Amino acid sequence: MLKLALTAKWITALVLCLLMAVAFALLAQWQINRSVLPNSDNDKWTKVSYVALDTVAEPNKPFSFMEVSKEGQQKVLTLVSTRVTQNPGQAVLIANRVQVDGTKGYWLVVPTATVDARVFVAVGFISDLSSAKVALGQAKLLYNVQSFRPLAGRYLPSEAPEPALEEDLFSSMSVAQLINLRPATLPAYSGFIAITKPNAYTQLPGVEAITIGLAKSDSQLNWLSAFYAIEWTVFAGFAVFMWWRLLADAYKKQQEALLDSAE
């Protein structure tokens, strides 16, 4: 079989298969680099991208969005965008919020709705309770925005529900708790959006833009990228295996032909 393998035809086929295997191996390496995310430690991301909310999340479905990914050595933060109507008359406050600089305070959260579903939006940060209550009262006096307007921000997972501190003041950003507060016919997204840029609500006295770092966590694994890495590795091995399999079949046919001619 070695003599057959050293013929020009099979050497050429081997070179082509090896080139395919190298290409598949490079794709596998690329997916491996994307699959493992480093520890998030509030380091600044190096790139920001935008995706439509309805392409990464579905109403009434579990939260599965990964907002941080890697492209080579770049740490990419993905923001979501959508168009919503707003209902500031039902705004609430969320306690136990912390800005990146360590300032503790409250979020002003406004219910909104896309064409298909409800989504809660954190629109601003207030550092003390008295100012937060004033801002909440002023926000509730704003007109509900019935036309659909663009909105973009961080899409984040809901927190566990905790007992309400008082009316319209909650201890955690629990989407389920807010949904149950005012039931509606529209379904709701399981996560919420946090606007981290100045907006109409940050023009209210005492309200400033929300700042959020990257949550401190262990290294994360992007399972989809890991699966692709394994897939490309299998393809690389299969390219070489196919050459050997075809060579073995050709050698077998050659030997059978020799036996037939000998008879």
Q: What confidence score (pLDDT) does residue 229 get? A: 77
- 203 or 257, which is more confident: 203
Altogether, the residues listed in the chain come to a count of: 263
Q: What confidence score (pLDDT) does residue 104 get? A: 95
Q: Are 52 and 114 in contact (CB under 8 A)?
A: no
Domain definitions of the chain by residue range? 2-36+222-262, 40-218
189: how many CB neighbours lie within 10 A of its CB?
Answer: 27
60: how many CB neighbours lie within 10 A of its CB?
Answer: 10
> What is the rounded distance in angstroms from the CA atom of residue 65 to the CA atom of residue 83?
19
> What is the rounded distance in angstroms from the CA atom of residue 196 to the CA atom of residue 178?
21
> What backbone torsions phi and psi does residue 201 show, to the nearest 5 degrees?
-80, -30
Q: Are 198 and 207 in contact (CB under 8 A)?
A: no
Of the pLDDT bands very low, low, confident and very high (cuts 50, 70, 90), residue 42 is very low
Q: What confidence score (pLDDT) does residue 161 get? A: 92
Of the pLDDT bands very low, low, confident and very high (cuts 50, 70, 90), residue 41 is very low
| Bridge pairing between strands 169-170 and 92-98 | parallel
> What is the rounded distance in angstroms from the CA atom of residue 49 to the CA atom of residue 65?
14
Output b/e per residue, 200-217; b: 16+ Cβ within 10 A.
bbbebebbbebebebeee
Q: Round the average pLDDT of the chain to a whole number and report it.
A: 85
